[in-house]
Amino acid sequence: MKRNRTSFRIVSLGGLIGIVAANIIGWTGPAIAQLISLPGAPLSFVQGPTLADTLRNGAQATSDQARQTAQAAGEMGRRARSPGYQTQNFAVDFQNLQIQFQNLRAVFSQVAAFVPQLQSPRAANAAAELDAGLNIIAEAFTPVQQQWQAGTLDRRNVVMMCEVLNEAVIEWQKELKKNSRRLGVIR
Amino acid sequence: MNSKLLHFEKIVGAVALMVVAGCTTVQTDSAIARPGEGVREFQRHVTDYRAALADCVRATEKLVAAPEKSEASAYAQVQTTAHRLEVVSVKARARADALEARGQEYFHEWAEEACAATDETSRREARARFEGLQAQFVIVQQDSRRVREDSRKFFDHLRHWRAALGSTPQAVEVAKARTEFAPAVTAGREALTAVDQLLRTLESAEQAVMKAAKP
């Protein structure tokens, strides 16, 4: 009996988030990895009375964060088009965009941590596809990050990165909505 | 204390039963897609990806063949097509990654779709037929992995140029990087070949899934 209670503590949400976060850290570059939320971080959305409610709240929070990330990329792109855009402006914008994107990963990871409870291959596949999508979108940061580190930052490249991120995150958000049924958000 | 604990265990047991019951509903309700839908969706993503990839490879081929005076505009065209490729490729590459990450587990969804018949006997028969498709799924996995790996090589070239040359380099810089363009074309063509193979595999997988779904 004591062992059962202990098992319940071990299979806590914090632990699940920890596993997901550890995986993400393994997949992403070091700069992005630093921004990952730590295991045991509080949920970014309200846990509902049922699993479907929780997933629905989580999907909504993820969708909202995706919108904010796309918006941040779009605004940064607009600013970067201006000839007066300086490296200091870039540093602030780039960090903000990375934080927005990382928040998106973090909130989606929290949603994905609930998916195994559905015991549905459809839901698990949908979560894996969306997760992989975020990993691929994160690659868009790389060329600009490399240029920045090499001191050869190119304003037009920054604009291009922002456009790719803006469009890709909007597409990802559409996929999230399209996958609501597979994720068990809509029955 | 013990009775309280027993009460707690009963509640936990009841919750667990509710979850299990809920899962049964999820797996058999109308939310299940039509047979073969998963394969068809993957096919659509890969087809879109192929179109964007072909455009980008063509632009890279033109860059290799471009005379010195039009190198800069040819390079700009590569960047434009690469931009579109980055966005369009996300869905197909994400699905290929997920397929690889989840292994055989991924195909349970396709089996669910194929076995979503109305009566239990038909479902059981469909499941048995579906078991025979394992070899086909292994080929889908292998081809997806090849697409992922070959695409990455082409993307690496494009990203390297973007980082090293920027978006609008001087003609002299483009000329200096000229030796790097031909290997990129090779990588792009290999990626296209891999995508074409995957599309053929998906087409036969879709036919096999449909056949398994219908007696």
> Mind listing the pLDDT tens digit for each residue in B63-99?
999 998 888 889 999 999 999 999 999 999 999 999 9
Give the per-residue pLDDT at B112. 76
Which chain B residues are Cβ-neighbours of A172 within 8 angstroms?
90
Q: What is the amino acid identity at position B59? A: A
Other CB atoms within 10 Å distance of the CB of residue B24: 11
Give the per-residue pLDDT at A173. 97
Which chain B residues are Cβ-neighbours of A164 within 8 angstroms?
83, 86-87
Q: How many Å apart are CA B137 and CA B201, to the nearest integer?
A: 9
- pLDDT confidence of B38, banded at 50, 70, 90? confident
Q: How many Å apart are CA A106 and CA A93, to the nearest integer?
A: 20
Q: How many Å apart are CA B10 and CA A1, to the nearest integer?
A: 12
Spatial CA neighbour of A94 closest among A116, A77, A115:
A77
The stretch B128-143 carries a mean pLDDT of 85
Give the per-residue pLDDT at B58. 97
Domain harbouring B131, CATH code: 1.20.120
Place of tokens 């040819």: B74
Rounded to 10 degrees, the C-alpha dihedral A109/A112/A117/A118 comes to 170
Tell me, yes or no, whether B26 and B110 share the same domain.
Answer: no
Which is more confidently placed, A159 or B132?
A159
Q: How many Å apart are CA B213 and CA B111, to the nearest integer?
A: 9
Q: How many Å apart are CA A55 and CA B187, to the nearest integer?
A: 41
> Mind listing the pLDDT tens digit for each residue in A45-100?
888 899 999 999 999 999 999 999 999 999 999 999 998 999 999 999 999 999 99
CATH of domain A53-187: 1.10.132
Query: Considering CB atoms only, which of B25, B94, B159 is closest to A136?
Result: B94
A132–B93 CB contact, under 8 Å: yes
Which is more confidently placed, B13 or A125?
A125
Give the per-residue pLDDT at A25. 36
Tell me, yes or no, whether B59 and B156 share the same domain.
Answer: yes
3-state helix, strand, coil in chain A (%, to 5): 80, 0, 20
Give the residue numbers spanning the domain of B38.
33-213
Tell me, yes or no, whether B119 and B47 share the same domain.
Answer: yes
Q: How many Å apart are CA B73 and CA B110, to the nearest integer?
A: 46
User: Is the per-residue pLDDT at B152 higher than 60?
Assistant: yes
Tell me, yes or no, whether B113 and B43 share the same domain.
Answer: yes
Identify whether the C-beta of residue A127 lies closer than 8 Å to the C-beta of residue A110.
no
Q: How many Å apart are CA A94 and CA A76, to the nearest integer?
A: 8
SS (H, E, C) chain A: CHHHHHHHHHCCHHHHHHHHHHHHHHHCCHHHHCCCCCCCCCCCCCCCCCHHHHHHHHHHHHHHHHHHHHHHHHHHHHHHHCCCCCHHHHHHHHHHHHHHHHHHHHHHHHHHHHHHHHCCHHHHHHHHHHHHHHHHHHHHHHHHHHHHHHCCCCHHHHHHHHHHHHHHHHHHHHHHHHCCCCCCCCC
User: Is the per-residue pLDDT at B170 higher than 70?
Assistant: yes
Place of tokens 């970014």: A44
Segment holding B43, helix H or strand E: helix B37-65
Tell me, yes or no, whether B6 and B43 share the same domain.
Answer: no
Which chain B residues are Cβ-neighbours of A142 within 8 angstroms?
159, 163
Tell me, yes or no, whether B11 and B82 share the same domain.
Answer: no
Tell me, yes or no, whether B84 and B48 share the same domain.
Answer: yes
Give the per-residue pLDDT at B215. 63
User: Is the per-residue pLDDT at B205 higher than 60?
Assistant: yes
Tell me the CA distances in angstroms from A166 to A163, B160, B213, one per residue in order: 5, 21, 40
- Predicted ipTM of the assembly: 0.76
The stretch B25-41 carries a mean pLDDT of 64
Tell me, yes or no, whether B5 and B78 share the same domain.
Answer: no
Residue B201 burial (10 A CB sphere; 0-12, 13-18, 19+): buried
Tell me, yes or no, whether B148 and B42 share the same domain.
Answer: yes
Domain count, chain B: 2
Give the closest-approach CA distance of A58 to chain B in angstroms: 18
Structure tokens at A92: 């602030």
Give the closest-approach CA distance of A141 to chain B in angstroms: 10
Give the closest-approach CA distance of A44 to chain B in angstroms: 23
pLDDT tens per residue, chain A (187 residues)? 333 333 323 223 333 333 334 333 333 333 333 334 445 567 888 888 999 999 999 999 999 999 999 999 999 999 999 989 999 999 999 999 999 999 999 999 999 999 999 988 889 999 999 999 999 999 999 989 999 999 988 888 899 999 999 999 999 999 999 998 888 776 5
Structure tokens at A177: 């909505």
The stretch B176-200 carries a mean pLDDT of 94
Confirm whether pTM is higher than 0.80: no
Q: What is the mean pLDDT of chain B?
A: 81
Tell me, yes or no, whether B157 and B187 share the same domain.
Answer: yes
Give the per-residue pLDDT at A29. 36
Tell me, yes or no, whether B20 and B121 share the same domain.
Answer: no
Give the per-residue pLDDT at A1. 36
Structure tokens at B20: 């299990």
